[in-house]
Amino acid sequence: MASGSKINRALALKLAASTILVGSVLVSCSAHGGGGRPQSLSSSSQKALAAGKTDKALEKAEAAVALDPRNPELRKTLAQAYLANGRFASARQSLDDALALGDASAHTVISLALMHVAEGRTNAAQALLEQHRDAIPASDYGLALALAGDTKTGVEVLAQLIRSGDNAPKVRQNLAFAYALDGRWREAQIMAGQDLDPQVAQQRIAEWARIAHPDAHAQRVASVLGVTPAAMDPGQPVMLALSATPSMGEVATQIGQQAMAPAAGPIELPPVEDK
């Protein structure tokens, strides 16, 4: 029994440093309530993602959004499908749409910030995280900032969290990762070693060293998410663009304007010539 517990703990801690990413970005969100065809397609997409069938997941997710384009939950599932296929630009657009539709949850904000990082827009990622600071747990916020390039602030946020008494393995490992991104390798190794076996800790440090280069934006995000960047991302289909799908308010306004438009004048027939 003790041996099994130790194995489970080791497996959990092995992913601790990327908990913010795996837990907040790739874990499927629950389907939007209410039933119906779009939600059924979204649910099928999430099941396909769980089974590793990324192509099928994307097909179902795009079909769901096409049927209910102003549903932010469906947009988030679509973003997950794009991510699983390594399509960062498309995922970023879908998350942008979800945010525009009112979903400012920590899940959406962190995911969108990471997509900005993957595309080299670290300033945009930092600004987004700061704007939604209050919605993001400190343990996630600190590492997200570090991944977005503000390593010193990220380290300070996480270190302060530990000093305040939140000394959980996730926080320690996120701080270890932030130390690595800040170039403080000695501190990173010591912190990582508090929870991981020496060999696992060394492997983790080696992986961080591989992706810590400031210009390795896409590789860094791809590595911590465990996905392979697509060779080419054609972007989200035009028919799914949020700007191409009017809101119910806009539709109502258009209908009202049409109803209030003056009626057309009487149709005049051409004069009849006398014969």
Q: How far apart are CA 47 and CA 64, in angstroms?
A: 14
CB 178 within 8 A of CB 162: no
Is 148 contained in some domain? yes
Say which residue, 261 or 94, is predicted with more confidence: 94
Is 161 contained in some domain? yes
Contacts of 144 (CB under 8 A, 6+ apart): 20, 110, 113, 114, 125, 129, 136, 154
> pLDDT of 71-119, one tens digit each?
999 999 999 999 999 999 999 999 999 999 999 999 999 999 999 999 9
Is 267 contained in some domain? no
Span 146-152, average pLDDT:
95
Question: Is the pLDDT confidence value at 212 over 70?
Answer: yes
pLDDT band at 181 (very low <50, low <70, confident <90, very high): very high
Lowest pLDDT segment from 3-17, 65-79, 197-211? 3-17
pLDDT band at 18 (very low <50, low <70, confident <90, very high): very low
Q: How far apart are CA 69 and CA 126, in angstroms?
A: 28
pLDDT band at 31 (very low <50, low <70, confident <90, very high): very low
Q: What is the reported pLDDT for 214?
A: 83
Total domains, the chain: 1
pLDDT band at 268 (very low <50, low <70, confident <90, very high): low
- In one-letter notation, the amino acid at residue 24 is S
Domain extent, residue 56, equals 9-244
Question: Is the pLDDT confidence value at 202 over 50?
Answer: yes
Say which residue, 190 or 225, is predicted with more confidence: 190
Mapped onto helix, strand or coil, the DSSP state of residue 203 is: helix
Percent of the chain with pLDDT over 70: 76
- In one-letter notation, the amino acid at residue 141 is Y
Is 261 contained in some domain? no
Question: Is the pLDDT confidence value at 46 over 90?
Answer: yes
Q: What is the reported pLDDT for 215?
A: 87
User: Residue 110 sits in a domain of what CATH number?
Assistant: 1.25.40.10
Is 254 contained in some domain? no
Span 245-258, average pLDDT:
47
Q: What is the reported pLDDT for 81?
A: 96
HSE of 100 in the Cβ direction (CA atoms, 13 Å)?
14
Average pLDDT over the chain, rounded to whole?
Answer: 83
Is 147 contained in some domain? yes
Mapped onto helix, strand or coil, the DSSP state of residue 63 is: helix
Is 249 contained in some domain? no
